[in-house]
Amino acid sequence: MTAILNRVKTALGPDMAGPGFALIAVIVVFSLASPQFFSRATFGSVAFQLPELGLLTLAMLLPVLTGGLNLAITFTANIAGLTVAWVLQQNGGADAGPFAFLLGSVLGIGVGALSGLVMGLVIAYTRAHPILVSLSMMIFLRGLGEFLTRGGDVSGFPAFLQPLGHGSILGFPIPLLVFIGCVLIWHLLLTRMKLGFNTYMIGSNIEAARYSGVNTRKVLVLVYALSGAMCAIAGIIMLARFNSVRVGHGESYLLITVLACFLGGVNPFGGFGRVIPVAVALVVLQLLSSGLNIMGANQHLATAVWGILLITVMILRFAAGHFKSLKRKKG
């Protein structure tokens, strides 16, 4: 039995302890507080609401692992969505066919990747701080989006897009399946590919990585380009979910993606973190929001609780690191 537990612990990794404990705690507390929580309706709601936030969190994850940040994720997603909407409108709007949507999606992902590519090039070649670069891109994309839409929504899409945002396959929501697929791709990228290994090296020590022969500029450019492409996928899902596109859609998700990364055990200074614990942390945050909603709490209270949770995670991390340091000294 001990051998099995040790094998499970090794497979999951120590960074699963925090998100795993938080998941169990949230389920137990809200199940006791409200009998309506542990129901199919609750978990169905979470399954449909999770993917858009989850995809944006994946977009945030790669830059954070390099010690950077992408503050432009939500506006990149919405610009990509606007690209898809423009292609659909140019091909008949509500009467547009699947080919127009496919073309728009390819162009939208290209726009998202281009946004990340520009940020990556500036960060890699000028060594400007990622916060400043991504903030500048965020302001640019927001202004561009407001100019193109005049601050309004763009709607009137074909009916065949509805299943992408609200449909299910064998009882599994299609947006959730898209998110799970992206999680697996990110997991393979970080654990089985050279780019993933180099991403961790840069996050741990970019100068050491450079002296080790890693083309740090190329890695940074690829990381931010992939981040932008993932934002675009999120933007397409949001378009199908809301049946409209607006520059400000999902603006509140930005800080939650950072919270999800840290709750999932990602080092805010880069170099350490895995995809699976981050995915579990996302489930925790969404269950927390749903639980508070069932109990009649205001959505703003959920946001406040998320903030308290982030502060608590930082304190616990500090305490755990201090405890390990004392233990090493005594040993």
* Predicted confidence (pLDDT) at residue 330 exceeds the cutoff of 90: no
Share of the chain above pLDDT 90, in %: 44
Higher pLDDT, 300 or 60: 60
Q: Summarize pLDDT for 120-147 with one digit per residue, the tens.
A: 999 999 999 999 999 999 999 999 999 8
Lowest-confidence segment of 31-40, 69-78, 96-105 by average pLDDT:
31-40
Share of the chain above pLDDT 70, in %: 90
Q: Report the chain's mean pLDDT, rounded to a whole number.
A: 86
Q: Summarize pLDDT for 222-244 with one digit per residue, the tens.
A: 999 999 999 999 999 999 988 88
Distance of alpha carbon 314 from alpha carbon 302, whole angstroms: 19
Judge whether 231 and 73 are in contact, CB under 8 Å.
yes
Q: Summarize pLDDT for 145-195 with one digit per residue, the tens.
A: 998 888 788 888 898 898 888 888 888 889 999 999 999 999 999 999 999
> What pLDDT shows up at residue 299?
67
Q: Indicate the SS3 state at residue 34.
A: coil
Cβ-count burial of 301 within 10 angstroms (0-12 exposed, 13-18 middle, 19+ buried)? Answer: middle
Q: Summarize pLDDT for 184-217 with one digit per residue, the tens.
A: 999 999 999 999 999 999 999 999 999 988 999 9
* Predicted confidence (pLDDT) at residue 8 exceeds the cutoff of 60: no
Locate all alpha helices (DSSP H) within the chain, ordered by sequence.
2-12, 17-33, 40-65, 73-90, 98-126, 130-149, 162-166, 174-192, 194-204, 206-211, 216-242, 253-263, 275-294, 299-330
Q: CA-CA-CA-CA torsion for 263, 242, 187, 280, nearest 10 degrees?
A: 30
> What pLDDT shows up at residue 44?
78
Judge whether 68 and 193 are in contact, CB under 8 Å.
no
- Helices 40-65 & 194-204 angle (0-180, nearest 10): 70
* Predicted confidence (pLDDT) at residue 5 exceeds the cutoff of 50: no
Read off the amino acid at residue 99. Answer: F
Higher pLDDT, 1 or 17: 17
Lowest-confidence segment of 24-38, 194-208, 231-245, 255-269 by average pLDDT:
24-38
> What pLDDT shows up at residue 109?
97
> What pLDDT shows up at residue 259?
84
> What pLDDT shows up at residue 271?
84
Block residue for tokens 């990364």: 261
Higher pLDDT, 43 or 327: 43
Overall pTM > 0.75? yes
